[in-house]
Structure 1
Amino acid sequence: MPDGLPERAGFADLQHSNVPDRLLASWQRSEDYGIPLDAVEPVFTGTDDLSSLFFQCGNEVLADLHRTLANEPVSMMLTDAEGVVLSRLSGDRSLLQALDDVHLAPGFGYAERDVGTNGLGLALADRVPTLVRADQHYSLSLCTFTCAAVPVLDPTSGRLEGSVNLTTWSRSSSDLLLALARSAASNTAALMQARSSGRSARHVPRGQVFRVEVPRLEPGSGTLHSLSDAWNAAVTHAERGMRAGGVVAAVGETGAGRATVLAQAARHLFPRDRILSASAPAPTDVQTWLGLWTPEVGKPHTAVIVRDVDLLPPWVAERLRDLVLRSGAEGSVPFAVTAERFEDIPTALASLVDTVVPVPSLRERPDDAMALAHHIAMRVRGRAVTFTPSAARALSGYDWPGNVGELTRVVGQLAGRMDVIDAKALPPEVLAGNTRHLSRIEAFERGEIVRVLGLDGLTMAEVASELGMSRATLYRKIAQYDIHMERD
């Protein structure tokens, strides 16, 4: 156990103590996710959108609370719905330093899936006010803190916007912590309602800036070893390049799995090493990006993958090249990059590349769709999810223009709320199947026909009526669009 960390009960001990069931459930999920017990590994994503109504109202409420508690050892934070810390206020320097040490700071994600059981992660997962005391945290590195968090819902739409989180030392009194968090969340929602006037509080989607992966098993991790020959050939190609000590570039469409090819190759060759995967930053995050992860380049037992280097400004690419050359990473430890096309990689980095690995898109390996779907569902649900034959046919028959990223979004949303996924639950564009040779209007029409055909209890006459066409036209369209669906 690291110095300075308090001892705490194990999972088995908690199960026999007076601990809320939902806290035990969170511990079980954390264990299933493969979260390490001794340290947290949050993802830094940056704070791209600080203009939302939620952020402005919440920050104003916390600023008022901060003025009241300026001399107290309490940190007040605002997070978005994904658990990314948007702002943090505290007058206690030692507390702030301790929070920095565990990356509980603006720009870092503290969702339960990333760091295990913690106050704000559990509040967002269960959408209820939550207090997590010292030894109730899953990670030992968080056992010096007590955290209270309350989710904030948009007063108009009911959409989850984020949370208010108050954190203090575990040795401090926490009796009023949850009450203060409740009050701040309530005041934030009230202020949002008073100022809404039609303004949207929806956040701009954010991509990960970096993630550190350690060699641990996760639910469903074995699934990806049984993919198509085309995928395995790309992984083998990358392995050969890494084994030779060269810099490898994986190229292909966005979302095809370029970084995953590199990570699997590195994991096969160096099973005990850390894998650090970094993506191109927003212009405002460049200096933070360079400072956060580049000290890792050249470290023993650390493989580095830089994603989307074709998006890097030339001067950043030059900084990165110089860093790789100075650190001796080239040829000693795995260093790899991804891009859509090799010719788009900045010259400074392209000059380092020894092996180029083309990564096939998902539509070029349709047999992988269901293996990936099961893997994605297992990661989201923590257990196996069933796909009906009709859903499997639809998922395998769709051309996935967004590649694995689109598949992850579709399956992840469904697996989060159902144990059996049927074709009826799939989006119309997926039901429409391979529409590359159809116009946008034809693709929409095909999707609508498939959707209505999937509704329970409708006769073909009723399907035709719902679609506003005759039965003869419906049958003609079914033949024209090559639609094959089982009907009860």
Structure 2
Amino acid sequence: MDSRRLAPRLLASWQRSERYGLSPEEMRPVFTGSVDTASLLYECGHEALRGLRGTLANEAVSMMIADSDGLVLCRMCDDASISRSLDRVHLAPGFSFAERDVGTNGLGLALADRAPSLVRADEHYCAGLRGYTCAAAPVLDPVTGAVAGSVNLTTWSDSSSGLLLALAQATAGNTTALMLARGTGRKGRSLPPPGRVFRVYADRYEQPDDAHRPLSPGWTDALATARTALVRGRVVAVVGDPGAGKTALLSAARRQMGARERLLSARPPAPGEVDAWLRLWTPELEKDSTCVVVSGVDRLPAWAATELAGLFGRVRRTGGEGSGRMQPFAVTAQRYAAIPDALSPLIDTVVEVPALRLRPDDILPLARHFAHRYRGRAVTFTPAATRALTSYDWPENVRQLRRVVREAAARTDVIDTRHLPAEVFTRSGGHLTRLQLLERDEIVRCLTEPGTTVARAAAKLGMGRATVYRKMARYGIQVPGGRGGTGS
């Protein structure tokens, strides 16, 4: 097929396939020899396919579930001829059909672009797959929002494919719903509005009463590295855990240089909104008064990353150190290795922001800053509340601290342990049911009331003291100051 006749997404996939060094005439999918049949994805995907199988009885359609790496986990089909044919091209459990391994195909493209994909006949990169039409849709993890895998439906290339993609999307949605229902006690992540562009103001992390107390070396060293790179006109990628403060670091570094321009942060778009997302904020790159931070480039659909790389290449500025020619963009990601191949060659400097648990000296200054911002005046933290905040691991980093402090500061000018949520006092890593969460929160509420001991809390809860201690151990509840520790 003449690649010039391909749709933009398919053309971008063909170009990536060429860069991977794949041959259109020879296909060599990677074989692992085993699949994880104990995973939640396999369990729920297998059940969703069984439901679809009844709908497609006697149809020449093969139904598959693959994991996030493109490894085929299971395959169902009632048509012996297409099953034998797929075996010959190794589209079977245990083989990887990621785009990087076999070139453009429906399964691999759905994973690369995080979007439903239909690849017909000669739109496949490798000739061995051109006898088929493949429709695939990504399965999203209901907790993290990440791509957990994909549903792939394959039929002969000369068969009608009008409903194939809709069926793949419906089955992927059913798989996600089953994963949520069976992930007992797991909370779904609240996703930000897709493609949203918003203004970011630099955070002044040191409040007047903390001016004598600088932030931790982990933060200040990262800030200095970013500032030096920006002075030298380098393209910066800031990496770190979600919520660690990557965009805030870039904002602070630019403002230390006296750059008072707007800083826009473009979050990753929904897979179907890439075009609108690019049109929304890319004109800002041409403005000298604006810097754009593209957040979470490791979560971009592959073709969006390719478009972005071309755009960045055109607007990238040149100039020596001290020229004042700062780059009009920067990027963030969780890990440098996860930055898309199309974007990584543009990165000159990588700066890592340590997780909040690795810089405990930052917790109290940040808490005071957030409390002052949301309350509109200075807020005091009791010693017990301070110990609770500084001893907690903050798995969601600064984002979680901001939320906790905002909710507490909305209630009082003096924040004590009773104003803090139960999560701050627990160390349990297991998933809890809704009833267990309610029980845990009620135990913490009773234990954090002023003057409460375990004995008093037990009486209020209608439990024996030993039962309360056992449940405290079960939920990992630790109340600062040893309240109730003597059992008095």
**Alignment TM-score, normalising by the size of structure 1:** 0.51
Decide whether aligned partners of structure 1 residues 282 and 389 sit closer, same or farther in structure 2, where only a CA change above 3 A counts: same
In the TM superposition, what whole-angstrom CA distance separates every residue of 1:306-357 from its partner, at most 9, and x where no partner exists?
1111111122222222222212346632321000111111111111011111
1:405 maps to which residue?
399
Q: Which amino acid aligns with 1:319?
A: E
In the TM superposition, what whole-angstrom CA distance separates every residue of 1:188-217 from its partner, at most 9, and x where no partner exists?
xxxxxxxxxxxxxxx965347222357898
Equivalent runs, 1:350-361 vs 2, <5 Å:
350-361=344-355
Q: Which amino acid aligns with 2:192?
A: R
* Aligned partner (choices 305, 316, 339) of residue 293 of structure 2: 305
Distance in 2, matches of 1:357 and 1:253, equals: 12
* Aligned partner (choices 286, 310, 331) of residue 337 of structure 1: 331
Equivalent runs, 1:211-226 vs 2, <5 Å:
211-213=198-200, 226=214
Identity of aligned residues (%): 46
2:424 maps to which residue?
430
2:481 maps to which residue?
485
| 2:192 is the counterpart of 1:206 | yes
Decide whether aligned partners of structure 1 residues 320 and 220 sit closer, same or farther in structure 2, where only a CA change above 3 A counts: farther
Decide whether aligned partners of structure 1 residues 370 and 291 sit closer, same or farther in structure 2, where only a CA change above 3 A counts: same
Q: Which amino acid aligns with 2:279?
A: G
1:33 maps to which residue?
none
2:237 maps to which residue?
249
* Aligned partner (choices 242, 253, 258) of residue 246 of structure 2: 258
Q: Which amino acid aligns with 1:238?
A: A
Give the drift of 1:284.
3.8
SS of 1:400's equivalent in the other structure is: coil
In the TM superposition, what whole-angstrom CA distance separates every residue of 1:419-453 from its partner, at most 9, and x where no partner exists?
22211021111122x556x8869999887654322
Contact kept? 1:220, 1:379, Cα under 8 Å: no
Distance in 1, matches of 2:209 and 2:191, equals: 29
Q: Which amino acid aligns with 2:357?
A: R
| 2:262 is the counterpart of 1:274 | yes
Task: Give the CA RMSD over aligned residues.
Answer: 3.6
Q: Which amino acid aligns with 1:211?
A: F
1:384 maps to which residue?
378
Give the drift of 1:468.
5.6
SS of 1:485's equivalent in the other structure is: helix
1:375 maps to which residue?
369
Distance in 1, matches of 2:471 and 2:480, equals: 12
Equivalent runs, 1:14-413 vs 2, <5 Å:
206-207=192-193, 209-213=196-200, 226-329=214-317, 332-334=325-327, 335-413=329-407
SS of 1:347's equivalent in the other structure is: coil
Distance in 1, matches of 2:278 and 2:208, equals: 30
Give the drift of 1:288.
2.6
Distance in 2, matches of 1:472 and 1:444, equals: 19
| Stretches of structure 1 lacking an aligned partner (at least 5 in a row) | 1-202
Contact kept? 1:228, 1:367, Cα under 8 Å: yes
Say which one has the larger Rg. 2
Q: Which amino acid aligns with 1:351?
A: P
Moved over 6 A (4+): 214-219, 221-225, 438-447, 475-482
Distance in 2, matches of 1:216 and 1:261, equals: 9
Give the drift of 1:373.
1.1
Decide whether aligned partners of structure 1 residues 327 and 439 sit closer, same or farther in structure 2, where only a CA change above 3 A counts: closer
Distance in 2, matches of 1:261 and 1:219, equals: 14
